[in-house]
Amino acid sequence: MKKVIIVAVLMVVAAAFSFTACETEKEVYKSSDEWVAKARQNVKPITMDTLKAKIERYDEFYLVDVREPMEYYPAYIPSAVNIPNGVLIFKMDSDEFWESNFLYTPKKDDEIVVYCKKGNRSVLAADKLRKLGYTNVRFLPGGWMEWENQNPTLYEAQLDKMSGGSHEEVGGC
């Protein structure tokens, strides 16, 4: 009888412990700003100057634009691959996706820089990748908007390089 009681008590304690352990893993935020602030504590930024230098030196790293395609196609940082934040975790380890972009699938310790329009989506994206085991992920504070402010002609120069020459402006605006 004592053994049955002891086993029952142990089962109740184990069940209570497992429910408590699950409860501590839940994270609920009052706002998206609070969520981004919490994620920012876990990921590292990269400066605009450092990113620009890496691009100019042709350093090996993955530059991932986590904006939606309609944001990406009009303008992006040279050498970036577009993976919208909503599908990022599914495409990061997809050999088929990376092969379609003529790249190798990133290893968990490869350098990855993520950016978005202003920086907040990239913070969350970098945190997701960290949780997936990627150990060398950075985000670009200020995102595309800050990049364009600091490098207003770089995108156009990249287009000129790709097309083989400069283009005359057309239209009035």
pLDDT of residue 39: 87
Query: Which of 113, 116, 123, 125 is labelled catalytic?
Result: 116
User: Which of 105-132 are b and which e, b meaning 16 or more Cβ less than 10 Å from the residue's Cβ?
Assistant: ebeeeebbbbbbbebbbbbbbbbbbbee
The confidence band for 167, taking pLDDT boundaries of 50, 70 and 90, is very low
pTM, to two decimals:
0.74
pLDDT greater at residue 159 or residue 92: 92
The question of whether 173 is a catalytic residue gets the answer no
CB 123 within 8 A of CB 40: yes
Q: Which domains does the chain have, with CATH numbers?
A: 32-163 (3.40.250.10)
